Amino acid sequence: MACLKAGTRPPWLGLGAAVWMQIASGNAYNFPLYSHSLKSVLGFNQHQLTMLGVANDIGENVGLLPGFASNKFPPWIVLSIGAFACFLGYGVLWLAVSRTVLYMPYWLLWLALCVATNSSAWLSTAVLVTNMRNFPVNRGTVAGILKGYAGLSAAVFTEIYSTVLRKSSSNLLMFLSFGVPVLCFVMMYFVRACTPTSGEDPAEHGHFLFIQVASVVLGLYVLTTTILDHMLQFSAEISYAILIVMVVLLMAPLAIPVKMTICPTRINKPGMPNQPIAPSDEMLQEEGNADKREPLLKSSDSTTYLGSFREGDDASEMAMLLAVGEGAVKKKRRPKRGEDFKFGEAVIKADFWLLFLVYFAGVGSGATVLNNLAQIGIAQGVENTTILLSLFSFCNFIGRLGGGAVSEHFVRSKTVPRTLWMTCAQIVMGITYLLFASAIDGTLYAATALLGICYGVQFSIMIPTVSELFGLKHFGIFYNFMSLGNPLGAFLFSGLLAGYIYDTEAAKQYGLNLIGSSVSCIGPNYFEVRVCPS
């Protein structure tokens, strides 16, 4: 695969295509939209349903294979594998929910859900690794944008579910089985590795700001229309018009490469005043093989903007160089923070496991609430849980986008570690869980919004932090290993605690031994016990 000259359209075209792929990679967030059908149509109890929620999280976050594949194969191969997993897994679920196949064993559905949501890991890894390498000096911003769109995907799918699919779980699963793979095959050509920008592009900040503003407008639009539809019951014509506007807003990031095609920018470099940026094909021909031999990442890129991480290293590095020069040290030194680590070198670092533990606690507990959001809403008397899901999705998006942008600003200007913002998010999450447990009237929507913001911050902070600590060369592996904290936390908090407590409380309410049935728990007494463990 030929590398493309820095500053040309393809990196931005790839980022625009990556936005669509990140929306598709959020298919795992649709579990609350069809979980009630798994419970009613197939007769599962709450414990069985929460274990399916664990399968949902395991498939979404077990991405070690995509991480290794992203270092071995071009992005289009990784995307193709994700498309096939989506087709296979959701296809099996559709056959069961639509009653096309009358009986399927529970273990097969559990496995199918793992495979289906594992497509998220393949799609997200392909676009995230590629774009982090294409924009190495804007990692926080790029991570915030891409993970923000992934967080917004639940609201986008909810809009499609309510408008086109007529709130049918069967239709939703069929859409996921065929629609997502088709989108992958359309967009995979544009997601490609490009040479990172070698010079300062004054228009780059404006381009990122445009995408951020467009994403916020999209999020507000989807949230507003979802709420208004619930209140006013839009006609079919208005609903389709709303959907068309949403698709146009999703295409907004593609306006940047279109603008760069119509109005090429100029980058001023020493000795090269007012030199226009030529199209990528022309630059490839002019530069010849010299640019093709230019490495994808330079060593300085992985150590940019680390601030206090590298303070105090100069003296020890000088001593090491003198020792090597005198022949006292022959063994190759281990990498330091910010340099490219191998997986075996990273796992022996305390930083690695501390970051994993924080992510495990924050995202694992948040995923427990998300997977049971429909049951939490019903227990509080909220019948239409799509509004809760849309609210969580929008605030999750704001947390991801804002976390990436804010941390990027402060790490550049004040050298404030990104992990400080992760700590703040953990504290607010603890307060939010107390709001859920209190079951006070009027706090459900506020608690859902706060949880969504903090949940999103965890994602957008973890991604650039991993790349800054351990480098970009094996970033796909490190990112997906950290993502294992999500299903492990969901298994502990949701699978082993929440589902069992739910069924136990339901049996108490009905006065019968109904642990094996599919009854629903109602009221604040259940709600208080149910949420505390998560």
- The per-residue pLDDT for range 80-107, each reduced to its tens digit, is 999 999 999 999 999 999 999 988 999 9
The dihedral through the CA atoms of 129, 131, 134, 139 has a sign that is negative
Which range of 196-200, 384-388, 434-438, 491-495 scores highest in mean pLDDT? It is 434-438
Give every CB contact of residue 371 below 8 A, 6+ residues apart in sequence.
31, 32, 35, 50, 53, 54, 56, 57, 490, 494
Is the whole model's pTM more than 0.85, yes or no? no
Span of 205-209, 290-294, 313-317, 342-346 with lowest mean pLDDT: 290-294
Q: Angle formed by the axes of helices 75-97 and 106-134, to 10°? A: 150
Residue 292 or residue 497, greater confidence:
497
Task: Note whether 396 and 455 are within 8 A (CB).
Answer: yes
In this prediction, residue 200 carries a pLDDT of 59
For residues 314-342, average pLDDT: 63
For residue 310, pLDDT over 50 is answered with no
Tokens in use for 467? 């790349």
Beta strands in 374-413 (DSSP E): none
pLDDT beyond 80 at 119? yes
Portion of the chain with pLDDT greater than 90, in percent: 25
pLDDT at residue number 467: 86
Q: Residue 63: what pLDDT?
A: 80
What is the number of other CB atoms lying within 10 angstroms of the CB of residue 513? Answer: 8
Dihedral sign, CA of 55, 58, 61, 62? negative
Q: Which domains can be identified in the chain, with CATH numbers?
A: 337-513 (1.20.1250.20)
Pairing mode, strands 272-276 and 266-269: antiparallel
Ranking 52-61, 152-161, 380-389 by mean pLDDT, the lowest is 380-389
Tell me the per-residue pLDDT of 200-252, one tens digit each, with 9 for 90 and over. 567 788 899 999 999 999 988 988 887 788 788 888 889 899 999 999 999 99
**Mean pLDDT, to the nearest integer, of 153-180?**
89
The stretch 464-472 carries a mean pLDDT of 87
What pLDDT shows up at residue 308? 42
At residue 396, the pLDDT reads: 84
Q: What is the pLDDT of residues 484-526, one digit of tens each?
A: 887 787 778 776 676 667 667 666 665 555 544 445 555 555 4
The answer to whether residues 436 and 447 touch, using CB atoms and an 8 Å cutoff, is yes
For residue 116, pLDDT over 90 is answered with yes
Q: Which long-range contacts (CB under 8 A, 24 or more apart) does 295-299 make?
A: 296/3, 296/133, 296/193, 296/195, 296/196, 297/133, 297/136, 297/196, 297/472, 297/473, 298/196, 299/339, 299/340
DSSP 29: G
Query: Does pLDDT of 481 surpass 70?
Result: yes
Q: What is the pLDDT of residue 163?
A: 83
Give the distance from CA 237 to its chain's centroid. Answer: 32
pLDDT at 271: 40
| Helices 9-25 and 139-163: angle between axes, nearest 10 degrees | 50
Tell me what percent of the residues of the chain surpass a pLDDT of 70. Answer: 76
Question: What pLDDT band is residue 273 in, cutting at 50, 70 and 90?
Answer: very low
pLDDT beyond 60 at 304: no
> What rounded mean pLDDT belongs to the chain?
78
